[in-house]
Amino acid sequence: MKRVIRFNLNGEDIEAYAPENMTILDFLRKEMHLTGTKRGCEEGECGACTIMLDGKPIAACLMLAVEADGHSVVTIEGIMRGGRLHPVQQEFIDKWALQCGFCTPGMILSAIALLEHNPQPSEYEIRDAIAGNLCRCTGYAKIVEAIASAAEVLRKGA
């Protein structure tokens, strides 16, 4: 059965029909055509589907679309500021923190969620924040560097 859900998606209030037995991951990709949120392991292990729910990073494959009703969801498509890349996105590019790019949207959302409540994270805190995001290409060092560097940019008020 389908249900009406109302929630804020990337800053816009939306109303849509969602099947009860559909995850928010499939809803975003299939119904909203927002394919930046990646479908990886589908059991909460890999972090490729990380989105922000009310400002907190969550695995979209472990949440039903109907549970989004009344909440606020941000995906990788919703983090640009005034037509410019978010500083975390820019630093991922500048520091070569991606290769195939499949883990990148999830990594970036985990990083933004961290930096929003911890503007000056230690390396341990960065690694802990992305511990639920698997990358099979870069080996993480560049990713950690990019997040530390984005923290600096954000602190300087970019």
Partner 1 sequence: MSLPKFEYIKAQTIGEAAALAAETGDKGMVMAGGTDIIPLLKDRVKLPGYIIDLKGVPGLRQLEYTEESGLKVGALTTLREIETSAVVKSKLPAVAAAAHYVASTQVRCRGTMVGNICNASPSADTACILLVMNAAVQTAQAGGAGRVIPLSGFFKGVKQTTLEPGELVTEINIPALKSGEGSAYFKFAVRKAMDLAIIGAAVWVKMDGGRIADCRIAVGGANTTPFRAAAAEKQLIGREYGESLLAEAAATASKECRAISDVRASAEYRVDMVRVFTKRAFKEALGNLKA
Interface with partner 1 (CB under 8 A) = 1, 3, 20-23, 42-45, 47, 50, 53, 56-59, 61-64, 66-67, 110, 113, 128-129, 131-133
Nearest distance in Å: CB 82, partner 1: 28
Nearest distance in Å: CB 14, partner 1: 19
Bridge partners, residue 53, by sequence = 56, 73
Nearest distance in Å: CB 143, partner 1: 15
Q: For partner 1, which is the closer residue by CB, 63 or 115?
A: 63
Q: For partner 1, which is the closer residue by CB, 128 or 152?
A: 128
Question: How far apart (Å, rounded) are the C-alpha atoms in residues 143 and 44?
Answer: 20
Question: How far apart (Å, rounded) are the C-alpha atoms in residues 114 and 137?
Answer: 22
Q: For partner 1, which is the closer residue by CB, 94 or 140?
A: 140
Question: How far apart (Å, rounded) are the C-alpha atoms in residues 62 and 151?
Answer: 29
Q: For partner 1, which is the closer residue by CB, 67 or 94?
A: 67
Question: How far apart (Å, rounded) are the C-alpha atoms in residues 109 and 49?
Answer: 10
Q: For partner 1, which is the closer residue by CB, 4 or 158?
A: 4
SS3 18: strand
Task: Give residue 115's Cα distance to chain centre.
Answer: 13
* 63 in Cβ contact with 73 (< 8 Å): no
SS3 15: strand
CB under 8 Å to 96, separation ≥6 — which residues?
A: 142
Nearest distance in Å: CB 4, partner 1: 13
Nearest distance in Å: CB 155, partner 1: 21
